[in-house]
Structure 1
């Protein structure tokens, strides 16, 4: 299993458009066979969009990134973001 958090920081003038583009693909992404969790949040104070994701494998995530509804978002990000998305891959800890 692959757990990650993605922090997306749009330029102020692109914030609402970035948010809507992600909202538009939520259900499509959640329906992907390799997607176990795909939640979307915003941190208004820091003007960041936050994705909390769990994928069956790296291959499932790679397949998600190649979807025809995801590629245009990545293209849009080229000019719309303040900086590259921060992707934090997480390892589960147990007691």
Structure 2
């Protein structure tokens, strides 16, 4: 998949990535879920967690913003899903 390719279900993949990633982080003792946390805050925390556990490669510092993190998380989940998943 090219870095410039638009994912068909990017918003749905991002939401699912937050859900799955937060559960995964909590199971490893890194709780991200907080009722007062915004999706952007959760996304950044999840992004840093996934870097820490070597699930994704970090973005360059100048690209570490909301839209780039959202896309990176969507790509992470997209690559983890089985081929027959409806989000693919």
TM-score, normalised by the number of residues in structure 1? 0.33
TM-score, normalised by the number of residues in structure 2? 0.35
Task: Specify which structure has the higher proportion of strand.
Answer: 1
Task: Specify which structure has the higher proportion of helix.
Answer: 2
Q: Which has the larger radius of gyration?
A: 1
